[in-house]
Amino acid sequence: MRTLNNFIDGQWREPSGTTYLPDINPADTKEVVAESPSSTAAEATLAVEAAERAYPDWRATPAPQRGQLLYRVQRRMEVRRHELAEVLTREEGKTLTESNGEIQRAINVVEFYAGEGRRLLGETIPSELPNNFCYTVREPIGPLALITPWNFPVAIPIWKLAPAIACGNTVVLKPASLTPLSAGLIADIFSECDAPPGLINVIYGRGREVGEALLNHPAIKGVSFTGSNEIGTKLYSTSAVNGIKCQCEMGGKNPIVILDDADLELATSSAVQGAYGSTGQRCTATSRAIVVDSVADHFIEQLEARVNALVVGNGLDPMTDVGPSVDQTQLDTVLNYIGIGQDEGAKLITGGLRLADDAHDCGYFVQPTIFDRVTSNMRIAQEEIFGPVLSVLRVPDAASALVAANAVRYGLAAAIYTQDVSRAFKLVDQLEAGIIHVNSPTVGGEAHIPFGGMKETGVGLREMGREAINFFTELKVVYLDYTGSARKSNLY
């Protein structure tokens, strides 16, 4: 069990208080994986001041050299990948296979932004003025706050940190209180790679205490947040008042749309992967299957068989398909929604209960659950459950499938299953989602490809890929007049 301290100015600093938050293994609640300090606003201020001191030198470091640090981090992550994956499984609960996938994705992200250090391009633009050279440059914003959730505790901090520092910013990371050790290992790795003191700071503590202190510190020039809509929208309005840049990636209620000509076998396995992978605790999890009537019975039959075959258990066991909910609160939320679904009149096909036999009584395990005959007005069709629960909505045709798919406040990911390319493209045109998959599951993403949602899922600019550079830099325009003598300018 590791006792974590805050990582400030390149050093692990003991907090002023003595209150530590336990980091409990959700698959085995007898195990305390780590503990992290419940820091104060004053300690958050120390972290910001360290980032502020480090900023001028890091800003002045040529971007290709900034990328070199990320290449060292990539290599170090490769060396420590198994340890990272095991910690991730022990503190978050996902299976080791899923954790290894998350670590690989994080490594890919670091590699991609290491290379971006050599490609931090501006453009040259022809000016209306004679003898004028007009160009743009990308400059860093300043010290930034990165506030991250527990469900991807390695990949999400990394996909904010890597572009932020490649672009010349310094950062204070506030990880989720449920998964502090992953962030601790990230800080270890940057430290082992000779990151300058203050470039990356990690502050632990309750969001309300330290998160808000970060956001309201005048030296913080931007915030990149991933988490719930409840918190994200608050942060967005605070950022607007404080006049700082803000991006928020928030909840999802992602549909898989299955048309009558779909390859049902493929669609079913994708629905299982999307809905129950990572215990449904993904922002891109499939939580609604919108199925055309003529194939719905067949789909449900195949789905039920596959879901009943899923093995629920400790993610460290290679036989496990589905791990636990992350904590008691999340488990209660899932069970509460299962009750709501039954009260609303949806048909429970399988699952619905907490698993509490000898093999499961020390963890937050719930049976993978399917509801059929769900309608768009039900809460289980509208609200993010964040657990292994799939709602099936039956619709008469493709047009009503589209209406049902778009009838939610969120717009992160959607999947379409059809073998007709024309129908696929028509749906792609009309679906309100930031990421659309045709004949592949709603989940997943790649380092060099933009990621994020429409509607109430996302505000601010997209993450990942070259798009992330737009958030993590300011754009400066330069007019350079080489006339050599005074002349009248065309002032508009």
What tokens does 347 get?
């048909």
Region of 26-34, 224-232, 253-261, 371-379 interacting with ligand NAP (CB under 6 A): 224-232
Catalytic site residue 139? Answer: no
The piece of 159-167, 169-177, 297-305, 352-360 that touches ligand NAP (CB under 6 A) is 169-177
Q: Is 457 in the site for ligand NAP (CB under 6 A)?
A: yes
Where does residue 126 rank: exposed (0-12), middle (13-18), buried (19+ CB within 10 A)? Answer: exposed
455 touches ligand NAP (CB under 6 A): no
Binding ligand NAP (rule: CB under 6 A), the pick from 13, 174, 253, 394 is 174
**Contact status: 448 vs ligand NAP (CB under 6 A):** no
Query: Is-contact 355 367, C-beta < 8 A?
Result: yes
Give the contacts of 383 (CB within 8 A, at least 6 positions apart): 253, 337
Q: Should residue 119 be labelled a site residue for ligand NAP when binding is judged by CB under 6 A?
A: no
User: Between residue 147 and residue 166, which ones bind ligand NAP under the rule CB under 6 A?
Assistant: 147-152
List the alpha helices (DSSP H) in 288-359: 293-308, 328-344
Minimum CB separation from ligand NAP for residue 124, in Å? 34
Residue 478 CA to residue 126 CA, distance in Å, equals 12
As a whole number of angstroms, the distance between CA 360 and CA 331 comes to 13
Known catalytic residue: 344?
no
- The only residue of 81, 206, 426, 455 in contact with ligand NAP, by rule CB under 6 A: 206
Give the phi and the psi of residue 266 in degrees, each rounded to 5: -65, -45
Q: Using the rule CB under 6 A, is 254 a contact of ligand NAP?
A: no
Q: Which is nearer to ligand NAP, 69 or 459 (CB)?
A: 459
Considering just the CA atoms, what is the radius of gyration of the chain in Å?
A: 24
Q: Single out the catalytic residue among 167, 246, 248, 283.
A: 283
- Residue 400 is given by DSSP the state H
Q: Taking Cα atoms as reference points, which of 9, 6, 7, 5 lies closest to residue 49?
A: 9
Restricted to residues 76-105, the positions that interact with ligand NAP (CB under 6 A) are none
Catalytic site residue from 249, 384, 456, 463: 249
Interaction of residue 390 with ligand NAP, rule CB under 6 A = no
> Considering only residues 231, 348, 355, 454, which one is a binding residue for ligand NAP as defined by CB under 6 A?
231
How far does CA 202 lie from the centroid of its chain?
A: 18
Sequence-distant (≥ 6) Cβ neighbours of residue 474 within 8 angstroms: 138, 139, 140, 141
Q: Smallest distance, Å, CB 412 to ligand NAP? A: 5
Q: How far apart are CA 114 and CA 65, in angstroms?
A: 9
Give whichever of 148 and 169 is closer to ligand NAP, judged by the CB atom.
Answer: 148
Q: Which of residues 327-346 bind ligand NAP (CB under 6 A)?
A: none
Stretch that binds ligand NAP, among 61-69, 186-194, 220-228, 436-444 (CB under 6 A): 220-228
Phi, psi values for residue 347, rounded to 5°: -95, 115
Query: Which residues contact ligand NAP by CB under 6 A?
Result: 147-152, 174-178, 206-208, 211-212, 226-228, 231, 235, 249-252, 283, 384, 386, 412, 453, 457
